[in-house]
Structure 1
């Protein structure tokens, strides 16, 4: 049979139709698959991926996060936030009996009002940054500078600086026989580190008075931990680089009454907030040694941070297996024991009386923390109400622990949510507490979401990692 194919040309796929010599597909040859159209309403561009993870198309949760971010950037929402902050600050000169808080309110309220005016009048691309800068200066820098130069602060700053002096001179951070409320030191030994600059610089000059102020070092630790957590949790762009700079979100958070008041008048809880956020971010990124050391720092500052250790360990176990989780647990427990045991062995009575019983309102001298939270209200009814508040707090914390074991966290956001829930319940139902304590659970809920740019607490498991001790297959690329 003679071939009709022209030499040098490939054989056509299918048969000739005989019409103009054009090849056509017949029923014996499958037609090529038509490309599928993307679903309407969704972009086909992949969402910026996490480092080490696959690229995924945008999910409804991510789209909702983008909508919330767009809503937060509107002038109306920004003005409303400034007005709420101004009203919050203006209330302190009227209702607070503490001079430092009243002075903060008098300075911060006009700053918030001016920030709101800038949100309305300046061009949109400059308004947010200018308003945040004005609020930061008016609510933090000016009142903090004035109080630091005058040597005025809440009693906890003096307690921390005195504990550092006692640690250097006597080897222990606790007075053996406290007689007044300011003699009690309700913090664990590592908190004395923030009082060391005072022992180094003294207070003979204005510069030394400011440089040695423990509030400055509380704030610096807070900023460093929050920036490090942002860097760990940020979503990376496909071409490299991070999605957003953290300066504006951190400035807004710091200038808010949630952080600004605590930073200016006391600030003792700020390092605890920072190290808890950083510990959850390190655990999600499988930085086991660093996570263990940061958790040890948290557990040796205040005993209220102890729940952070099991939460982070369960997060590591869920994402990366038993061995990384055990490594972090051993480092956290071991370093914490090395720091706390010397005081526990030499001054066990002082440690129990000042660190445990005093914050719970179980000593003869009552703690000054007296915000009208539910636990404080119950404790006001006498020994029976005090016992009921402790019982309710214990039951609630056991319920949170069961929830943690039944549904271990799968991301830093989920871990921070669980820790925030437990701490919020403890602060609300404790026999003594302050509204300021709630800044810790609030920031735990807010900051990881801002850094990760997603609202959902779930995230895909990176390829090649393990979850629950079982290897997970690599996820397909979108």
Structure 2
């Protein structure tokens, strides 16, 4: 399956760019339908606001895209209507998802108690399922969404993935406006993969170690980047990367895990996996949640399938390690797509990981990156 995905990514680089522009109006129209449908169907106030505003923005973008030379203007309107205007409106009104409150409260707890976690959480709002590094966004002044979104945009720009259509995609634009917790994580993952492909092992380790210190969803990127660096540069740079990545993540996580192991376990491990007494509100009807809800012993089955998927990813890194950053991004997109579908407590918003990483793989296929053997790579340095 991984080989098929990578072959597909290599193939789409040859599709004429004009064909995408020809159908862009239909893409914006589809986004408008999705946004307006969310506005009508959701019982969450921030989602309804985003759906109504973004739906109008997408509709205008679709109209502009009908013109032969209006595609750049259409993309600007889509970003403004789906991201900028809803974000400003929601921040001004003080509306957002619960995760924004959780991050901001964890930042205040870090300043006042020295730990971002409640030792004995009971209600859903008491839980902080993120790694300690996420609390830094709550320490910074103002609404956390400004910093979360800014970190995401900066990481994508550094990775060469600053594309308006990606920012305006509903799976990115919605969390950007209402929450945004996963955005800096996947942004740093993209940056780390690009740096690993360039042979900058220390910087790659720093970026991916920082991502791992924000949320556990970044952890699969650590071994993938390690395999990529080992193939392209050899053992010593791979060791340098591993030391930097693990040191960065460990320095951010271990002090809090050791200081309050019970609270750390309840917040960061038990709650996201659905093992806590309090159920997570993340309950989108994806396979893992459906198994855990409707099948006897389904939670154990879902976790077992999740473990099997992780094992298969590890085996693939040994049997067929990625030779380019494009291949590494495609491998991560596939692996995280399967993982997000199998987690018992999951939500559609987690699909932003395979989407952005897949976009990175596609973008790099357009640039024509090709595998480089270790011997050739060293000759070029």
Query: Do these two structures clear the TM 0.5 threshold for a shared fold by scoring above it?
Result: yes
The answer on whether the counterparts of 1:186 and 1:354 sit within 8 Å (CA) in structure 2 is: yes
Structure 2: gaps (5+ residues):
1-7
Match 2:81 to one of 116, 138, 146: 138
The answer on whether the counterparts of 2:186 and 2:218 sit within 8 Å (CA) in structure 1 is: no
The answer on whether the counterparts of 2:232 and 2:377 sit within 8 Å (CA) in structure 1 is: no
Structure 1: gaps (5+ residues):
1-59, 199-211, 231-245
Describe how 1:299-318 pairs up with structure 2 within 5 A: 299-318=212-231
CA distance in 1, matches of 2:12, 2:295: 48
Aligned to 2:46: 100
Aligned to 1:111: 57
Match 1:228 to one of 143, 155, 158: 158
Higher helix share goes to which structure? 2
Deviation at 1:68, TM superposition (A): 3.8
CA distance in 1, matches of 2:12, 2:343: 36
Query: Given the alignment of the two structures, is residue 421 of structure 1 paired with residue 367 of structure 2, yes or no?
Result: no
The answer on whether the counterparts of 2:32 and 2:55 sit within 8 Å (CA) in structure 1 is: yes
Deviation at 1:453, TM superposition (A): 1.5
CA distance in 1, matches of 2:53, 2:104: 26
The answer on whether the counterparts of 1:397 and 1:425 sit within 8 Å (CA) in structure 2 is: no
Aligned to 1:446: 359
The answer on whether the counterparts of 2:137 and 2:144 sit within 8 Å (CA) in structure 1 is: yes
Q: So what's the TM-score if we normalise by structure 2?
A: 0.93
CA deviations over 1:175-216 (Å, ceiling 9, x no partner)? 111121010000000001111123xxxxxxxxxxxxx11111
Match 2:238 to one of 313, 321, 325: 325
Deviation at 1:375, TM superposition (A): 0.6
The answer on whether the counterparts of 1:277 and 1:448 sit within 8 Å (CA) in structure 2 is: no
Describe how 1:407-418 pairs up with structure 2 within 5 A: 407-418=320-331
Deviation at 1:103, TM superposition (A): 1.1
Query: Given the alignment of the two structures, is residue 72 of structure 1 paired with residue 15 of structure 2, yes or no?
Result: no
Q: Between Structure 1 and Structure 2, whose CA radius of gyration is higher?
A: 1
Deviation at 1:134, TM superposition (A): 1.1
Aligned residue for 1:380, secondary structure, equals helix
Per mean C-alpha deviation after superposition, the further-off stretch among 397-406 and 259-268 is: 397-406
Deviation at 1:66, TM superposition (A): 4.2
Deviation at 1:347, TM superposition (A): 0.6
Aligned to 1:48: none
Deviation at 1:70, TM superposition (A): 2.5
CA distance in 2, matches of 1:62, 1:399: 23
Deviation at 1:413, TM superposition (A): 1.0
CA distance in 2, matches of 1:323, 1:450: 29
Sort the Cα spacing of 1:146 and 1:287 in 2 relative to 1 into closer, same or farther, 3 A: same
TM-align CA RMSD? 2.0
Aligned to 1:175: 118
